[in-house]
Structure 1
């Protein structure tokens, strides 16, 4: 599942990106309102997290344009504006939820999952590749009927590969999505993470699902 964050505060962005990636989501970022509106209207997302006070175009304007374009992607306002009239305004403009900063990530994640359970999403809650089953909302992975004991980072990596099964993912892309944008993909951290994931996902089973494409990256698929 893919989430768009429209937020100009870099510390908040880093905090959200890390937590959501570890929870199995693919995350795109826009630091300006007009950039966020462009992404929201040209790409498909399962949910948008939107600040109000943004450069170039504020959150009120962004959600107004999103809804005027007949885009029904769920939107959560995440903002320091805590007045009742601001909350009412956000919801009346078409937001699905409104959370005030400072916030608890666990509460935000619960709200995200609750919204995603309400209606149809562009990707299923459960992904299946061969005998591998990944429950994105419950944060569980099973292969051949056996529960896989994955760390949050491993689950985020596996979820990313499963959501883009059959697509070769470069080390840089994996680093950006599972770690952060400034991650140095020249290091072997991605390769080490893949090796550890293989030990749990592939090594106990005859059929291998994680494949290396030399000089390019990795792909999750049944062969």
Structure 2
């Protein structure tokens, strides 16, 4: 999970993440990039982040209003040293996804961050169901037709990432940043190798192409490959009943997602 933490020089920690957020990062493989309030909207437009955490001594509505008025869709959590019920209510009404005190337990904070990212991605529970594919986020397990798929830790992280963002094409840089948060990133081909190994394992469960690779752009989960067997058979029958049409026009598609190098703190 990539977090853009917007701090204040006047708050505790001298511009560093609050203690609870730092501990949550260590416990949950969270990549934190510190930022000042100036230019935060441009940073969010230029680079991919899963969530923004605004840490303040007391809630200030100006920055949140600025982010929301700029139509930046990234979810926002506010962490404050002190707050009143009225301040929390106003923050939520103008677009914050959550507001907690800096004294929040790191385990609870991490769970809240993950829940927000999961809901924004269109998933309402800790178990992701995509056709025959099931990803248990809390158990870190992947099943196809209720049968466990033997994945390494990194391979699981990759499947979970693509499952959470099932409608998006993720660039290789974004995948590397997410999988190796706060660690020295390996050579670029490691993702290609990992994709290849997962494909081989998925084929043992009758899944031929679990991922779609757009060369030079990135990767996306291939939802069609996980469709229930009956639905796929019906789709094949409907296609075979239609006259074939020949075409020599090349089809090109893709989404160009840009990301920039950031300083990760774990």
Q: TM-score, normalised by structure 2?
A: 0.52
The alpha-carbon distance between structure 1 residues 63 and 133, as it changes in their structure 2 partners (threshold 3 A), is same
Matches of 2:71 and 2:217 in 1, distance apart? 38
The alpha-carbon distance between structure 1 residues 147 and 116, as it changes in their structure 2 partners (threshold 3 A), is same
Using the TM superposition, give the Cα deviation of residue 175 of structure 1 relative to its aligned residue in structure 2, in angstroms.
0.4
1:98 partnered with 2:95 = no
Q: Which runs of 5+ in 1 are unaligned?
A: none
Larger RCO of the pair (alpha carbons < 8 Å, separation 6+): 2
Partner of 2:255: none
Aligned Cα RMSD in Å? 4.7
Partner of 2:40: 36
Matches of 1:146 and 1:59 in 2, distance apart? 49
Aligned residues: 205
The alpha-carbon distance between structure 1 residues 188 and 42, as it changes in their structure 2 partners (threshold 3 A), is closer
The alpha-carbon distance between structure 1 residues 147 and 75, as it changes in their structure 2 partners (threshold 3 A), is same
Q: Is the 8 A contact 1:135 1:141 kept in 2?
A: yes
Q: Which runs of 5+ in 2 are unaligned?
A: 8-14, 93-97, 226-266
Matches of 2:71 and 2:172 in 1, distance apart? 36
Q: Is the 8 A contact 1:18 1:180 kept in 2?
A: no
Q: TM-score, normalised by structure 1?
A: 0.60
Partner of 2:181: 180
Q: Is the 8 A contact 1:90 1:98 kept in 2?
A: no
The alpha-carbon distance between structure 1 residues 194 and 72, as it changes in their structure 2 partners (threshold 3 A), is closer
The alpha-carbon distance between structure 1 residues 65 and 42, as it changes in their structure 2 partners (threshold 3 A), is farther
